């Protein structure tokens, strides 16, 4: 181990694996270590026996749930936007050759105590029971404006400079009602709160376009895709990629300690008496706890069921977003459901997650409005984890620390963190102009 590396990455979570892959492809010499004997860190994937061990101690899972091996329960489940940042990163690194994707059946939103399909185009707006007749027409006009909008074509801007005009002003121009704004902002543009309304509208419109273009990509019921066998495949795919480029992976390295010089600059990592030297350290918050601070907590329920979520058109994989206003909360709630259709459970079994940013210390009460939508449950586990963000200055200590995963059930915020870290580490922006068709063949099975 006594070699010198450009970068040592600690932890094999999704963010760390993606960065390790990107840096390897860039030609950097990367050593990737994890204190655990499994891939994935906080974002690992568990079979049934491991799930029981984590939440029920020495109890054994009931035989009625089927074979433990057929379960791949992702601890941080997130769907990928078909044309989104993560898919572009996967194509950029060519890691897609190790993964099989399948389209996700449904994308829904909770509105006035019911679940509705998220309308994403002018045609869907006219059909949607979410809105009354006149609101449908207004929404249709707004969707057409968004679909036709091209940043480089001033004719499509309808006199609005989206770098100056706020999202609220654009929406007001089309006269949309509060409930409509709620589902467009949270379930389509995937904003996690309402602060976007007072920011320039460009980002909001681009996010809506991303959703519509992703939806059109596979002509499925949602804009999302998900790997067969779940996200646990991703860290392993990146480990294989890294090896191709000469990177080194080491699991089961206990007590990885970052070593600093007299100026507080990271110079290497020690484990079991050996030190590997490096210029930069990349890690998750658990490896440098004195350089992060707690900013919140995620509350979630992990459920095993024998049926799809009711009112989702029997979708075998689905996301339902419950906007905060609909629940009288400060943060949105998310339902994630996947099943044997994506090989994450035995035939006839469904895995559902209900997650949100915790606002109380009682996840059972707090998550009730989401859990009530699931129908009968075979099993339920409650879990909370703290969210951390880095407080260090990477220019001083050469440490690049990822933020903890948030409660969202899609990858958009995760990718933003990865891309920002990549730019800090390398001093350049990642070129994401890739041929998106490279990830499509497997998604249409």
Per-residue pLDDT of the chain (445 residues; tens, 9 = 90+): 668 999 999 999 999 999 999 999 999 999 999 999 888 888 899 999 999 999 999 999 999 999 999 999 999 999 999 999 899 998 888 888 888 999 999 999 999 999 999 998 888 999 999 999 999 999 999 999 999 999 999 999 999 999 999 999 999 999 999 999 999 999 999 999 999 999 999 999 999 999 999 998 877 789 999 999 999 888 889 888 888 998 899 999 988 999 999 999 999 999 999 999 999 999 999 999 999 999 999 999 999 999 999 999 999 999 999 999 999 999 999 999 999 999 999 999 999 999 999 999 999 999 999 999 999 999 999 999 999 999 999 999 999 999 999 999 888 889 999 999 999 999 999 988 878 776 654 444 4
- Exposed/middle/buried for residue 286 (C-beta within 10 Å: 0-12, 13-18, 19+): middle
**Whether the Cβ atoms of residue 131 and residue 111 lie closer than 8 Å to each other:** no
| Amino acid 221: pLDDT | 84
Q: How far apart are CA 399 and CA 404, in angstroms?
A: 16
| Amino acid 1: pLDDT | 62
Give the Cβ contact number of residue 117 at 10 Å.
22
Reply yes or no on domain 116-216 having CATH 1.10.405.10: yes
**DSSP SS3 for 31:** strand
**Whether the Cβ atoms of residue 116 and residue 179 lie closer than 8 Å to each other:** no
DSSP states of 121-162: SHHHHHH-TTS-HHHHHHHHHHHHHHHH--TT-GGGGTT--T
Identify the H or E element spanning 318. strand 318-322
Domain ranges of the chain: 4-43+231-293+389-429, 46-105+294-387, 116-216
**Whether the Cβ atoms of residue 272 and residue 49 lie closer than 8 Å to each other:** no
How close are the terminal C-alpha atoms of the chain, in Å?
A: 43
DSSP states of 96-111: GGG--EEE--EEEEEE
Q: How far apart are CA 280 and CA 250, in angstroms?
A: 17
| Amino acid 441: pLDDT | 43
Residue 398 has phi, psi (to 5 degrees) of 60, 30
- Token pair recorded at residue 70: 């057929």
Q: What is the CATH number of domain 46-105+294-387?
A: 3.30.519.10
Query: Which of 108, 156, 3 is CA-nearest to residue 321?
Result: 108
**Whether the Cβ atoms of residue 374 and residue 307 lie closer than 8 Å to each other:** no
**Whether the Cβ atoms of residue 57 and residue 31 lie closer than 8 Å to each other:** no
Q: How far apart are CA 204 and CA 162, in angstroms?
A: 9
Identify the H or E element spanning 363. helix 363-366
Residues 6+ apart with CB under 8 A from 140: 122, 125, 126
Q: How far apart are CA 89 and CA 433, in angstroms?
A: 10
| Amino acid 92: pLDDT | 87
Q: C-alpha distances in angstroms, 157 versus 121, 165, 392?
A: 18, 11, 41
At the topology level, CATH places domain 4-43+231-293+389-429 in FAD/NAD(P)-binding domain (3.50.50)
Identify the H or E element spanning 267. strand 266-271
What count of residues does the chain have?
A: 445
Query: Which of 135, 146, 210, 221 is CA-nearest to residue 179?
Result: 135
Instruction: Tell whether the torsion through CA atoms of 55, 75, 443 and 147 is positive or negative.
Output: positive
């Amino acid at each position: 181990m006594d070699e010198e590396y450009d970068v040592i990455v600690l932890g094999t979570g999704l963010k760390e694996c993606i960065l390790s892959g990107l840096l390897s492809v860039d030609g950097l010499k990367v050593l990737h270590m994890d204190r655990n004997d499994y891939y994935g860190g906080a974002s690992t994937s568990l079979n049934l026996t491991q799930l029981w061990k984590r939440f029920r101690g020495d109890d054994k899972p009931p035989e009625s749930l089927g074979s433990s091996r057929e379960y791949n329960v992702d601890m941080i489940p997130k769907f990928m936007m078909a044309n989104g940042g993560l898919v572009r990163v996967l194509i950029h690194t060519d890691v897609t050759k190790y993964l099989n994707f399948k389209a996700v059946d449904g994308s829904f939103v909770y509105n006035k105590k019911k679940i509705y399909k998220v309308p994403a185009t002018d045609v869907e707006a006219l059909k949607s029971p979410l809105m009354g007749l006149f609101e449908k027409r207004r929404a249709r006009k707004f969707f057409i404006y968004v679909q036709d909008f091209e940043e480089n074509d001033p004719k499509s801007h309808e006199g609005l400079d989206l770098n100056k005009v706020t999202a609220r002003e654009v929406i007001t121009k089309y006269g949309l009602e509060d409930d409509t704004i709620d589902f467009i902002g949270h379930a389509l543009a995937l904003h996690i709160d309402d602060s976007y309304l007072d920011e320039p509208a460009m980002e909001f419109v681009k996010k809506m376009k991303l959703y519509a273009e992703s939806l059109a990509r596979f002509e499925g019921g949602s804009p999302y895709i998900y790997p067969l066998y779940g996200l646990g495949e991703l860290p392993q795919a990146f480990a294989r990629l890294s090896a191709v480029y000469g990177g080194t992976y080491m699991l089961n390295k206990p007590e990885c300690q970052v070593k600093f010089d007299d100026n507080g600059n990271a110079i290497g990592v020690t484990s079991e008496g050996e030190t590997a030297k490096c210029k930069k350290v990349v890690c998750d918050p658990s490896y440098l706890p004195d350089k992060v601070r707690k900013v919140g907590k995620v509350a979630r329920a992990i459920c095993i069921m024998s049926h799809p979520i009711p009112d989702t058109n029997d979708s075998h994989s689905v996301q339902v977003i419950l906007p905060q206003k609909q629940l009288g909360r400060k943060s949105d709630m998310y339902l994630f459901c996947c099943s044997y259709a994506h090989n994450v459970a035995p035939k006839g079994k469904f895995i559902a997650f209900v997650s949100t940013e915790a606002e109380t210390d009682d996840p059972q009460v707090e998550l009730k409005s989401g859990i009530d939508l699931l129908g009968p449950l075979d099993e339920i586990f409650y879990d909370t984890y703290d969210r951390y963000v880095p407080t260090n200055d990477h220019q001083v200590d050469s440490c690049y620390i990822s933020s903890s995963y948030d409660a969202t059930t899609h990858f958009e915020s995760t990718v933003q963190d990865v891309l920002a870290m990549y730019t800090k580490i390398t001093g350049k922006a990642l070129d994401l102009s890739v041929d998106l068709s490279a990830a499509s063949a497997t998604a249409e099975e």
